């Protein structure tokens, strides 16, 4: 029998270690996200009762520009650190200080920009809200490199704890401010407190401190920024893609129209942010470690996306099927305008649950220029669609955004799969049956809602939700047995076979 060489033994040991850490990391990421979702959902429901649609509309208008500035707080440094083969302390310190200087400059820029933003929206209330948001922006920037180091080391327990602390602190700040009658300031306080507290916790858990600026190394800065510039370009275009609707609606229709739309958008993307977010967070650092093994990486990528579809598709479609009952029970009658918007945004929610994998995939491959091209194309298409749809109000914007997302999904994944050495059919074969199962369960709920002789909105919501869940699980077992098994397998592991 052949005895493995020392190098081979080290590689086998490394893969086993990666598997153990990634399995633990996936579990902690899931637990952390679950805890965050509970706190965020509860605070969102409380705030929906305490605040007005106009308050949410004001903050929605604010986030258009705020989110664009937030893209630059990272400079793509986090993604670069995660896939960096052999980072040295001096170069890490150099990246930290460059990122900190940029964050400080952008914070001052936000203060200077705030009066202009109020003029853009023709609403003087916007300016002080935006200026106050610079505090959270500055605090968040300090945690970029420490959090990337935690992510690189698959230390999801520390990340989960830090983020949960931040979410609790932000929710508490928002509710206290709302009870005090501060309106939209409650949402600003939530965002700022969440960012600052999370960064502080991340820095503590990472146990890493940068060298002083004059002792840091900036030799590898050009390589890092070459990778990061395209990541930032994608981040900018991706933010614009997600913000054109708020920007155009805020300018044309006003805050009262943005409020229900923003709430509908928030709930339709909950599956992505709380389920897909867990899987994608584990996927990137795990795949980055096997990026030289094409077949293994491609197989893992497909399995991860199938897992995301298995869990997010039924939630998005199910929410659309019970949108009237959900809004009435969870948010109250004053938000009923959001119900048809949830339905119209359903295709967007389905596509958005998968699209983050485009970013992760191209970053793992190091092909960030292709990533930026995709982002720019999608942003321009969405802008055209929103400008056309706004003529029919909020519902027109929702339909237009969904159409743009549906148009982009095929060329987007076709390009990435080709870059990975596969084809679009390799991805569509396992995912389309999952979509059909989710649509089948949604159809059953819609049919039952017409026949159900129950007047109580709460009872209807509970019964229809149970029916939808049961129908989906049955269809999944019958139509998608392989996808179901793989989804459970990925939840138990890092998404990389043999890792």
Closest CA to 163 of 109, 203, 201: 201
Could you give the CA distance from residue 209 to residue 146 in angstroms, rounded to a whole number? Answer: 8
**pLDDT exceeds 90 at position 143:** no
3-state secondary structure of 461: helix
Chain centre distance of CA 137:
18
Between residues 284 and 444, the one the model is more confident about? 444
Task: State mean pLDDT over 463-478.
Answer: 91
Could you give the CA distance from residue 273 to residue 283 in angstroms, rounded to a whole number? Answer: 15
36 Cβ partners below 8 Å, 6+ apart? 163, 164, 167, 274
What angle, rounded to 10 degrees, do the helices at 255-268 and 221-252 form? 130
Burial class (CB in 10 A: 0-12, 13-18, 19+), 110: buried
Give the model confidence (pLDDT) of 221-236 as tens digits.
666 666 777 777 888 8
Give the model confidence (pLDDT) of 244-297 as tens digits.
888 888 778 877 778 888 888 888 776 666 666 666 767 677 677 666 777 778
Range 421-426, long-range pairs (CB < 8 A, 24+ positions): 421/294, 421/295, 421/298, 422/298, 422/302, 426/298, 426/302
Give the model confidence (pLDDT) of 290-331 as tens digits.
667 777 788 878 888 888 888 889 999 999 998 888 888 887
What are the C-alpha distances in Å from 94 to residues 60, 312, 373? Answer: 35, 39, 29
Measure CA of the first residue to CA of the last residue in the chain; give whole Å: 24
Give the model confidence (pLDDT) of 364-378 as tens digits.
887 888 888 898 999
Supply angle C-alpha 96, 97, 99, rounded to 5.
Answer: 65
The model scores a pTM over 0.85: no
Q: Token pair for residue 414? A: 């076709």
% of the chain with per-residue pLDDT over 70: 84
Q: What is the DSSP letter of 335?
A: G
The pLDDT value recorded for residue 25 is 61
11 falls in which pLDDT band (50, 70, 90)?
very low
Cβ atoms of 429 and 279 closer than 8 Å = no
Count of C-beta atoms within a 10 Å radius of residue 333: 8
């Amino acid at each position: 029998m052949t005895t493995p060489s020392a190098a081979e033994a080290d590689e086998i040991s490394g893969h086993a270690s990666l598997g153990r850490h990634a399995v633990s990391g996936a579990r902690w990421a899931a637990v952390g996200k679950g805890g965050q979702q509970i706190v965020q959902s509860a605070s969102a429901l409380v705030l929906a009762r305490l605040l007005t649609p106009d308050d949410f509309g004001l903050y929605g208008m604010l986030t258009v520009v705020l989110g664009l500035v937030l893209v630059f707080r990272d400079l793509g440094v986090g993604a670069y650190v995660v896939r960096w083969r052999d980072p040295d302390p001096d170069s890490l310190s150099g990246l930290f200080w460059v990122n900190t200087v940029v964050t400080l400059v952008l914070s001052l820029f936000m203060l200077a920009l705030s009066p202009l933003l109020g003029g853009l929206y023709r609403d003087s209330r916007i300016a002080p809200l935006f200026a106050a948001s610079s505090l959270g922006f500055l605090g968040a920037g300090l945690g970029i490199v420490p959090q990337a180091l935690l992510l690189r080391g698959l230390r999801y327990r520390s990340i989960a704890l830090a983020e949960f602390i931040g979410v609790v602190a932000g929710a508490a700040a928002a509710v206290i401010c709302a009870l005090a009658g501060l309106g939209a300031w409650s949402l600003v306080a939530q965002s700022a407190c969440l960012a600052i507290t999370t960064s502080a916790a991340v820095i503590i858990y990472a146990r890493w401190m940068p060298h002083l600026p004059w002792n840091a190394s900036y030799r590898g800065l050009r390589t890092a920024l070459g990778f990061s510039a395209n990541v930032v370009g994608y981040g900018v275009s991706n933010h614009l893609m997600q913000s054109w609707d708020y920007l155009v609606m805020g300018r044309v229709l006003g805050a009262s129209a943005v409020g229900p739309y923003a709430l509908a958008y928030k709930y339709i993307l909950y599956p992505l942010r709380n389920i897909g977010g867990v899987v994608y967070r584990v996927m990137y650092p795990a795949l980055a470690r096997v990026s030289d093994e094409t077949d293994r990486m491609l197989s893992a990528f497909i399995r991860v996306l199938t897992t995301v579809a298995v869990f997010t598709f039924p939630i998005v479609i199910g929410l659309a099927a019970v949108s009237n009952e959900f809004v009435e029970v969870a948010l109250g009658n004053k938000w009923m305008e959001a119900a048809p918007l949830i339905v119209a945004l359903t295709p967007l929610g389905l596509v958005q649950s998968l699209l983050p994998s485009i970013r992760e995939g191209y970053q793992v491959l190091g092909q960030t220029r292709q990533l930026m091209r995709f982002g720019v194309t999608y942003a321009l298409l969405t802008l055209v669609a929103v400008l056309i749809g706004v003529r029919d109000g909020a519902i027109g914007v929702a339909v237009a955004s969904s159409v743009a997302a549906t148009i982009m999904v095929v060329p987007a994944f076709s390009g990435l799969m080709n870059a990975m050495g596969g084809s679009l059919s390799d991805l569509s074969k396992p995912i389309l049956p999952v979509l059909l199962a989710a649509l089948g369960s949604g159809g059953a709920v819609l049919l039952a809602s017409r026949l159900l002789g129950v007047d109580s909105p709460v009872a209807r919501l509970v019964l229809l939700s149970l029916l939808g869940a049961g129908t989906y699980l049955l269809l999944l077992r019958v139509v998608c047995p392989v996808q179901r098994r793989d989804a459970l397998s990925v939840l138990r592991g890092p998404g990389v076979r043999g890792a």
